[in-house]
């Protein structure tokens, strides 16, 4: 099978232009056939900027909803290559894939997202159940595990999620966006699956050509312990946590104010928290500091967390990924359901511009925040040991054993925006055409060989070869060469008026370097095998531009 | 790269069971390590039926919304193989893919679906734009073409669409379902792209192992001409058309009653329509009858349609697909936007059971219609020449040239239900694990080699090889073999306590036929290349069960 041999997507490096010399020679025997331009080029899009005329009242807005966009052409090729890279990564780690509905019963999503619950899209009540679009893939996964009484699974899921947030389109922050999730559910030894998840982040990002990232990591038990020893009461822990979570965007002074003024803690408590959350460094460094802190060690929760971090160090060193990790006590993560390790991968593009506040004031767009925000984290996740159980209990199932979970979500649009930045070549084509079938002839009795071209194309399709021809009874050679050039096909199969009548087809390489080449006249009964052979040769030398781009080569 | 060599998904035919003999030999030197069962088997799901206890008032329903379902395990493997087969088909025909948002502005969908508009899901008005979930991929495509002033494109799109219809889950009729669409936009010669679309239906279904189908085909211009010559006024044509569309489910008498009683036509008009719409047969047969009918030939619309059908015959014969086509004048298709050729592919499973009405009365489920409906059409489409223009005009764009379109939509869930029926082997696994890393040892100083197993696994992952190990510090050999067996991995890499300390790893084939085989002791510095070599050998003999199933072999 051709597809197997070459892999997908196929891309060639050489620029192809009209094979003028060959064309001239062939057209000497052909009559010119005037054609409408649009009708002659089946493949290439001709785009113009949409008109910007004023709208009348009855007009329809020809746009996608706020925070969403269409994907097409090269962008689709790149995004699909990212999906393939990540699926292969997940399969390498024993993952199986599932697919859940885009909307869930509203009660399934309720109470899982803290302050962000207001960003959930609801479906209209049209009679029947109340439903909402999924906000992430984690809660539907936990619902799936609980619903099917699954005891353990490694699952991956690549799908769209929905958040009614302020979009920043060019930074890849959208209202409809893809998440690529890998999660391990099941009761295992401390930090064993967790460390594999961290390895998956490193493998995933490096295989996408991203090397200048770090994984900021913290442990909810340690963080909660810090809050406790600083004087925060148990019922206030989650809200203080969500205040601390803002430290990546706001300075400590603003967060402190929120803790004291809005969240009612004492100045002293806030200052103690401030001392701890500014700690960050390598796992060994921060672990070293905390494990010598008697207050922390005396706190039950923090001490549990610390002993888990000891295991984690051992495993991340075995994987050789400890150099990517920054133990950062200011990382809190907004979502309610995390119970253990939490982490976010960030790059230099993740942060907002230094003068973000100023840019925000200046910004003319109330619709899009791209001017004053960063890309944000490009992968994020954590451990959530109670979510499955919460569903099982809420649904009245006999409380079985707890199903602890840990996982990671890659933000594809954000990663896409980084990959797109390093794209220099424009030679990635969205179509894969390998052969363009043409017919040349002339004279009064010249039919244009359309049904004959169809027969030839059909034989190539049946052999699995990507094939096109011009959708026209009689097309002149120039139009056919132009269409072939635009398709990017490396090979032409030509039906010459007399040659084809004698059972012969001409196979010719396309591209300027083959302009002088008349191609090869072959028996029409054997041409498919010869085409396959020639395509193998073409792709032996070819370079896959998409892989090159994705891997950052 | 391993992935390139073997292709995906990898499946093996041989059943693997615990390598008991080898296990016994290895365990003689190993201490037994009691383990909780759940903690020891990282891959396989243990499923139980969900509990059926009574619910209290506060309970959450642990289910997916009506008409939707989760997809997992083998079903996902099969569905993804269908997607791959169809994507390759579309690429073979010069298609490029696009992706549009799951929801569109409500005004974009308005007035496109006739009576079916009531089935559209609306999103709640949460401030901002009014939006609805897409009902098909055709209207969003036309919006995309109009919005970007595209003059021509062949695009494919594989994505979910939403309809608030009565579900029949086991027949693949759902509220959330996939469509796989291929459409050609652009002004081309009559019936040239249309005939390629018909060829795509034939290629698509046969490549999915479906051979007992026919393509029912009609032409809106001929149908409208028939209505005109039967005495239907122009403004009544569309509503009579949607009555005739019910002929695949209802007998003529019921449809006639609707035409006369509900739609206000005379008895005579209905009878004339009845004479025509019972005509069906091969393209040549029905064309022969109509082209000799002076009333039809005198009607401008019908005559236009007939001359197009003449071209179509020529092209479908060139493709050699005319034997799949039935020219059926009762086919009307419900949607408003079709303007020319319309078609539906059906199989024997498409029709409802003969005693459908009786079964419907007996049916205990008001939620699901599976007992009394058929699978319906498995692919359907047509020509829609005005839709893009309608968007361009409604949005106030200068009316450019019309962008005629023609396309096809494959119904994946319905095709899936046919493929699932012919599945006999249970040997399609949802995971792709190739190597299971194990450690064997014993004695008081035995650590279990967990970080060492991680190091070994990491080297295999970096080489692109799907690898797992048991998530446990010390796992006894039996548990490790059981986990390996469940993963389906054909190869084990074993860290023997003494052997590994001496820089050696053991590579062993898994499966009952290799129970006597101790494997090969190799240098730990060279083991990755040896594993790759052994896997090539394994897959040389292996048969891909998924391809076999999909292609109906």
Structure ipTM: 0.86
pLDDT digits over B529-546, tens only? 999 999 999 887 655 777
Using the Cα atoms of residue B189, residue B193, residue B198 and residue B203 in order, give the sign of their dihedral. positive
Does B61 lie at the interface with A, CB-CB under 8 angstroms?
yes
pLDDT digits over A304-345, tens only? 999 999 999 999 999 999 999 999 999 998 777 899 999 999
Q: Find chain B residues with C-beta within 8 A of A145's C-beta.
A: none
pLDDT digits over B448-505, tens only? 999 999 999 999 999 999 999 999 999 999 999 999 999 999 999 999 999 999 999 9
A21 vs B206, which has greater pLDDT?
A: B206
Mean pLDDT of B156-168: 94
pLDDT over 60 (residue A107): yes
B298 vs B548, which has greater pLDDT?
A: B298
Q: Find chain B residues with C-beta within 8 A of A412's C-beta.
A: none
The pLDDT of residue B307 is 97
Strand, helix or coil for residue A130: coil
pLDDT digits over A219-275, tens only? 999 999 999 999 999 999 988 998 998 888 889 999 999 999 999 999 999 999 999
A87 vs B19, which has greater pLDDT?
A: A87
Question: Residue B149: pLDDT band by 50, 70, 90 thresholds?
Answer: very high
Chain A 120-159, CB below 8 Å of chain B: which residues? 121-126, 128-129, 131, 133, 143-144, 146-155
Which element (helix H / strand E) includes A494? strand A491-496
Q: Which residues contact B91 (CB under 8 A, 6 or more apart)?
A: A8, A431, A432, A466, B156
B422 is in an annotated binding site: no
Q: Do the beta carbons of residue A537 and residue A489 sit within 8 Å?
A: no
Give the E-state strand segments of B349-446 in sequence order.
Answer: 379-384, 405-411, 435-440
The pLDDT of residue B20 is 41
- In eight-state DSSP terms, residue B258 is I
The pLDDT of residue A223 is 95
Distances from the Cα of A342 to the Cα of A200, A213, A220, A545, B383, angstroms: 15, 16, 7, 36, 53
pTM score, two decimals? 0.86
Q: Name the β-bridge partners of A155.
A: A96, A183
Mean pLDDT of B521-535: 97
Mean pLDDT of B205-233: 96
Which chain A residue's Cα is nearest to B118? Answer: A126
Which chain A residue's Cα is nearest to B130? Answer: A65
Nearest CA-CA partner of B39 in A385, A189, A384, A150: A189
> Per the CB < 8 Å rule, is B46 touching A151?
yes
> Per the CB < 8 Å rule, is A65 touching B147?
no
The pLDDT of residue A400 is 63
pLDDT digits over A382-396, tens only? 999 999 999 988 888
Q: Which residues contact A235 (CB under 8 A, 6 or more apart)?
A: none
> Per the CB < 8 Å rule, is B97 touching A76?
yes
Q: Which residues contact A428 (CB under 8 A, 6 or more apart)?
A: A11, A74, A77, A78, A545, A546, A549
Cα A412 to Cα A198: distance, rounded to the nearest angstrom: 17
- A394-403, B47-56, B290-299: the lowest-pLDDT one: B47-56
Cα B553 to Cα B545: distance, rounded to the nearest angstrom: 10
> Per the CB < 8 Å rule, is A62 touching B147?
yes
The pLDDT of residue A41 is 34
A352 vs A431, which has greater pLDDT?
A: A431
Q: Find chain A residues with C-beta within 8 A of B461's C-beta.
A: 92-93, 199, 203
Does A118 lie at the interface with B, CB-CB under 8 angstroms?
no
B438 vs B10, which has greater pLDDT?
A: B438
Which chain B residue's Cα is nearest to A195? Answer: B454
Token pair of A441 as six digits: 């002839």
Pairing label, strands A435-440, A280-281? unpaired
Distances from the Cα of B212 to the Cα of B324, B347, B387, angstroms: 9, 6, 33
Nearest CA-CA partner of A114 in A238, A226, A233, A228: A238
Interface probe, candidates A59, A123, A166, A175, chain B, greatest B C-beta count within 10 A: A123
- In eight-state DSSP terms, residue B260 is I
Long-range contacts of B507-514 (CB under 8 A, 24+ apart): B507/B531, B507/B534, B508/B19, B508/B22, B509/B534, B509/B538, B510/B16, B510/B19, B510/B436, B510/B481, B510/B484, B510/B485, B511/B14, B511/B15, B511/B16, B511/B17, B511/B19, B512/B15, B512/B16, B512/B17, B512/B19, B513/B14, B514/B19, B514/B22
Cα A363 to Cα A76: distance, rounded to the nearest angstrom: 30
Cα B121 to Cα B133: distance, rounded to the nearest angstrom: 5
- A40-54, A283-297, A312-326, A411-425: the lowest-pLDDT one: A40-54
Nearest chain B Cα distance for residue A274, angstroms? 36
Q: Find chain A residues with C-beta within 8 A of B397's C-beta.
A: 50-51, 53, 62
Token pair of A525 as six digits: 């009964």
Does A465 lie at the interface with B, CB-CB under 8 angstroms?
yes
Token pair of B411 as six digits: 């119904």
The pLDDT of residue A18 is 35
> Per the CB < 8 Å rule, is B395 touching A144?
no
Q: Do the beta carbons of residue B24 and residue B516 sit within 8 Å?
A: no
> Per the CB < 8 Å rule, is A98 touching B160?
no
Nearest chain A Cα distance for residue B33, angstroms? 14
pLDDT over 50 (residue A33): no
Q: Find chain A residues with C-beta within 8 A of B149's C-beta.
A: 46-51
Nearest CA-CA partner of B471 in A144, A185, A388, A323: A185
The pLDDT of residue B399 is 60
Q: List, as one string, the DSSP characters of B34-91.
A: ---GGGG-SS-----PPP-PPP-TTPPP-SPPTT---B-HHHHHHHHHHHHHHHHHHH
The pLDDT of residue A360 is 80
The pLDDT of residue B35 is 36
Question: Residue B312: pLDDT band by 50, 70, 90 thresholds?
Answer: very high
Mean pLDDT of A54-58: 46
Nearest-by-Cβ selection for A97 from B76, B160, B451: B76
Cα A225 to Cα A206: distance, rounded to the nearest angstrom: 34
pLDDT digits over B426-451, tens only? 678 899 999 999 999 999 999 999 99
pLDDT digits over B70-89, tens only? 999 999 999 999 999 999 99
B162 is in an annotated binding site: no
Chain B 327-386, CB below 8 Å of chain A: which residues? none
Q: Find chain B residues with C-beta within 8 A of A160's C-beta.
A: 102
A287 is in an annotated binding site: no
Nearest CA-CA partner of A153 in A94, A200, A198, A99: A94
pLDDT digits over B371-411, tens only? 777 778 899 999 999 999 999 888 887 666 689 999 999 99
Does B473 lie at the interface with A, CB-CB under 8 angstroms?
yes
pLDDT over 60 (residue B57): no
Does A422 lie at the interface with B, CB-CB under 8 angstroms?
no
Sheet of B504-509, strands arranged across: B467-469, B435-440, B491-496, B504-509, B520-523
Does A218 lie at the interface with B, CB-CB under 8 angstroms?
no
> Per the CB < 8 Å rule, is A122 touching B124?
yes
The pLDDT of residue B358 is 79
Q: Express the helix, strand and coil content of chain B in percent, nearest 5 each.
A: 45, 15, 40
Nearest CA-CA partner of A103 in A86, A125, A83: A125
Nearest CA-CA partner of B229 in B167, B300, B165, B286: B300
Mean pLDDT of A71-88: 95
- In eight-state DSSP terms, residue B157 is E
Give the E-state strand segments of A15-111 in sequence order.
Answer: 96-97, 103-105
Cα A409 to Cα A536: distance, rounded to the nearest angstrom: 38
Nearest-by-Cβ selection for B391 from A62, A124, A473: A62
Cα B70 to Cα B79: distance, rounded to the nearest angstrom: 12
- In eight-state DSSP terms, residue A56 is P
B59 is in an annotated binding site: no
pLDDT over 60 (residue A551): yes
């Amino acid at each position: 099978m051709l597809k197997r041999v070459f892999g997908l997507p196929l891309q060639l490096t050489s620029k192809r232009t009209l094979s003028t010399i060959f064309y001239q020679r062939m057209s000497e025997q052909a009559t010119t056939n005037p054609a409408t331009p649009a009708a002659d080029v089946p493949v290439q899009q001709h785009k113009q900027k949409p008109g910007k005329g004023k709208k009348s009242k009855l007009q329809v807005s020809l746009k996608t909803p706020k925070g969403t966009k269409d994907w097409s052409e090269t962008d689709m090729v790149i995004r699909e290559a990212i999906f393939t890279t990540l699926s292969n990564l997940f399969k390498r780690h024993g993952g199986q894939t599932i697919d859940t509905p885009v909307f869930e019963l509203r009660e399934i999503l309720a109470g899982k997202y803290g302050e962000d619950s207001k960003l959930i899209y609801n479906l209209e009540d049209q009679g029947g159940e109340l439903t909402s679009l999924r906000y992430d893939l984690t809660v539907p996964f936990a619902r799936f595990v609980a619903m099917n009484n699954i005891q353990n699974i490694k699952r991956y899921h690549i799908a769209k999620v929905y958040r009614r947030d302020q979009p920043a389109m060019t930074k890849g922050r959208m209202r409809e966006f893809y998440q690529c999730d890998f999660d391990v559910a099941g009761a295992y030894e401390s930090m064993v699956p967790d460390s594999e998840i961290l390895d998956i982040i490193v493998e995933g990002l490096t295989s996408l050509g991203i090397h200048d990232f770090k994984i900021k990591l913290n442990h909810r038990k340690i963080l909660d312990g810090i809050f406790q020893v600083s004087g925060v009461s148990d019922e206030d822990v989650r809200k203080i946590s969500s205040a601390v979570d803002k430290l990546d965007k706001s300075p400590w002074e603003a967060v402190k104010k929120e803790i004291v003024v809005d969240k009612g803690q004492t100045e002293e408590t806030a200052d103690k928290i401030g001392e701890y959350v500014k700690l960050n460094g390598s796992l060994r460094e921060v672990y070293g500091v905390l494990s010598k802190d008697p207050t922390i060690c005396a706190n039950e929760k923090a001490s549990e967390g610390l002993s888990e971090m000891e295991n984690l160090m051992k495993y991340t060193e075995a994987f050789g990924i400890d150099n990517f990790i920054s133990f950062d006590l200011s990382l809190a993560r907004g979502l309610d359901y995390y119970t253990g390790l939490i982490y976010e991968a960030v790059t230099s593009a993740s942060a907002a511009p230094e003068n973000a506040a100023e840019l925000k004031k200046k910004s003319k767009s109330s619709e899009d925040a791209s001017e004053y925000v960063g890309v944000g984290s490009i992968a994020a996740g954590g451990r959530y040991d109670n979510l499955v159980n919460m569903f099982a209990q809420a649904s009245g199932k006999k409380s079985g054993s707890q199903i602890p979970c840990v996982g990671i979500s890659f933000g594809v649009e954000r990663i896409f925006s980084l990959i797109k930045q390093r794209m220099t070549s424009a030679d990635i084509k969205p179509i894969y055409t390998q052969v363009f079938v043409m017919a040349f002839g002339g004279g009064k009795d010249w039919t244009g060989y359309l049904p004959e071209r169809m027969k030839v194309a059909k034989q190539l399709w049946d052999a699995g070869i990507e094939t096109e021809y011009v959708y026209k009874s009689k097309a002149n050679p120039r139009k056919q060469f132009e269409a072939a050039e635009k398709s990017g096909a490396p090979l032409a199969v030509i039906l010459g008026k007399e040659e084809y009548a004698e059972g012969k087809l001409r196979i010719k390489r396309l591209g300027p370097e083959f302009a002088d080449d008349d191609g090869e006249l072959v028996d029409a009964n054997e041409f498919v095998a010869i085409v396959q052979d020639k395509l193998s040769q073409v792709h032996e030398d070819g370079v896959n531009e998409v892989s090159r781009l994705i891997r950052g080569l």
